[in-house]
A and B are shown apart, each in its own frame.
Chain A
Amino acid sequence: MKTLAGDRQFLKEIETHSGEPVRRCFQCDRCATGCPMAPYMQHTPNELFRLIQLGDRRAVLASNAFWFCVSCYTCSVRCPNDIDIAHVMDTLRELSLREGFTPALPQARDFHELFLDCVRRSGRVSELELMARYNLKLRKPFSRFALGWELLRKGRLELWPKRTGELRKIFKALTPNPSPVVTYGRGVPQGRGEGQKEQYKEQR
């Protein structure tokens, strides 16, 4: 059934993927009131949910809301309709990436991808390695040098962490590519969205 802005399929899709009853949201605004990141969001959680109910796929998946969400779970534990809002935010982020929307905070995506790649390769995360790779990705190899030095001096950076390749298997089974990280390119990698779109279709 067509609704005002789009189609109902979208609401169903979000509900199925997240397992959360987004249709129950009755705009009490409690989620937005307690959200520390609401000032940075184009749509507060309740606004986003209204758009999902209306089926406005584009507006929802192009929003910056789920990129600014810090997963503090304030909204989730307060929602009177027991919707795990933070989890829906995760779902939307995944979907938005798969459908090739440009992330509103590319550095957040990069940071998470690099983090997961460290986990995949080493089993545990070395903060030193993660920060070095993140700096390289941003092409600012010396940013936070003073902070890094301070932490190192105080014994708060581990130089040679224990490594294990144990998790490669799990990553191989659960990620479409062997590594979630794309090649180091300038800016947003081109063509990435298209490839992902196809993969997502195949999965479905």
Chain B
Amino acid sequence: MMRFYPGCTLSSSAKPYSRSLAWVWKRLEIEMAELPGWTCCGATAAHALNRDLAYALPARNLAIAQELGDDLIVACSACYSRLKIAQKALENPQTRERVAGVLGRALDGRVQIKNILEVLSAHAPRIQKEKTKALEGLKVACYYGCLATRIPRVEGFDDRENPTMMERLVSAAGATALDWPAKTSCCGASFSVIREEIALKMCSQILEMARRCGADVITTSCPFCQYNLDWAQWALSQQDGQKPKIPVLFITQLVGLALGGSEKELMLGANLTPSPFPKREGRRCSPPRVGEG
């Protein structure tokens, strides 16, 4: 069976992600259970300050999955990257022995860690077959950010600098995927807390690029990317009174819309940028006019 590792953000700032994801799983009849007793992967904080923790914290979750004999499905790009990096580091017998000793659990490195985009892509034909016309004509900029694809020395699920898996999903969902150059740019990550002005600048550049390429919406699979791009538009609107322009949707919200999910079921109202989609189910969407004036 597939075990889902949600990570800390999915029950909090990325709540719309976990809601829409659960809805899409159900709709596509994908069987998935949460990893029992999962704990935080340590995120950037662990590898920034303490390398031992950066390996031990993800390893604990790998050990649980291994004991169950299950694959691990990860939605958050940061968790995905940390789990993959730790698994790679644990290939070193000394590191593995040390970490296994601290955890008091065996580690064999055989757990398959899969990104949510891989799982969704496997169902692209079904999404294509069962999609409604909700997304027709919508121009979507797919934003991957850093951590989903750039993992040193680890074979990823897609190209590191020019991934295309989300584009294929978006096309399957009936929308138009844009070719744009900022899809793996950095959103500034935790700098949106520790040095806001820097993250704001980085996000603005990405948003501006999306706008120039004619994007109606941006979609992403990373909770931090979604939050930062969402937050940046909100923050700018507080500063200069401009309305946020480009909605930032989780990929599961977009796929969910194509499959007939309602605004409430997909928690679209929780995004800080306004939803471009109609409130009532089944009505055709009219993309917002972006880039005018």
CA distance A71 to B53 in the complex (A): 16
| In contact, B48 and A119 (Cβ under 8 angstroms) | no
Q: Which of A150-168 contact B (CB under 8 A)?
A: 150-151, 154-158, 161-162, 164, 166-167
Q: Does B151 contact A (CB under 8 A)?
A: yes
B234 to chain A, nearest CB (A): 7
Residues of A within 8 A of B160 (CB): 77
| In contact, A170 and B194 (Cβ under 8 angstroms) | no
- Of the listed stretches A24-32, A173-181, A186-194, chain B binds A173-181
Given contacts A36-B186, A70-B186, A154-B272, contact A127 B9 (CB under 8 A): yes
Given contacts A115-B45, A123-B40, A156-B13, contact A70 B53 (CB under 8 A): no
Q: Identify the interface centre among A119, A128, A162: most chain B CB within 10 Å of its CB.
A: A119
What interface size band does chain A fall in?
Answer: 35 or more
| In contact, A90 and B57 (Cβ under 8 angstroms) | no
CA distance A116 to B57 in the complex (A): 11
Residues of A within 8 A of B190 (CB): 70, 108, 111
Residues of B within 8 A of A113 (CB): 45, 49
CB-defined interface of B45-59 with A at 8 Å, one 1/0 digit per residue? 111111111101100
CA distance A127 to B50 in the complex (A): 21
Chain A minimum-CB-distance residue to B160: A77
| In contact, A167 and B194 (Cβ under 8 angstroms) | no
CA distance A112 to B160 in the complex (A): 27
Chain B minimum-CB-distance residue to A123: B39
Q: Which of B226-242 contact A (CB under 8 A)?
A: 231, 234-235, 238
Q: Which of B16-53 contact A (CB under 8 A)?
A: 16, 37, 39-40, 42-53
| In contact, A72 and B43 (Cβ under 8 angstroms) | no
Q: Does B152 contact A (CB under 8 A)?
A: yes
Q: Does B60 contact A (CB under 8 A)?
A: yes
Given contacts A107-B194, A123-B40, A127-B8, contact A155 B267 (CB under 8 A): yes
Residues of A within 8 A of B12 (CB): 126-128, 156-158, 161
| In contact, A36 and B185 (Cβ under 8 angstroms) | yes
List residues of A whose CB falls within 8 A of some B CB. 36-37, 40, 70-74, 76-77, 82, 84, 86-87, 90-91, 93-94, 97, 105, 107-109, 111-113, 115-116, 119, 123-128, 131, 134, 146-147, 150-151, 154-158, 161-162, 164, 166-167, 170-171, 173-175, 180
Kindly list 20 other residue pairs between chains A and B, CB separation below 8 angstroms, not including A91-B51, A174-B52: A36-B185, A70-B146, A71-B44, A72-B150, A73-B81, A74-B150, A90-B48, A107-B194, A111-B193, A112-B45, A116-B46, A126-B8, A154-B271, A156-B15, A156-B270, A157-B12, A164-B37, A170-B53, A170-B57, A175-B53
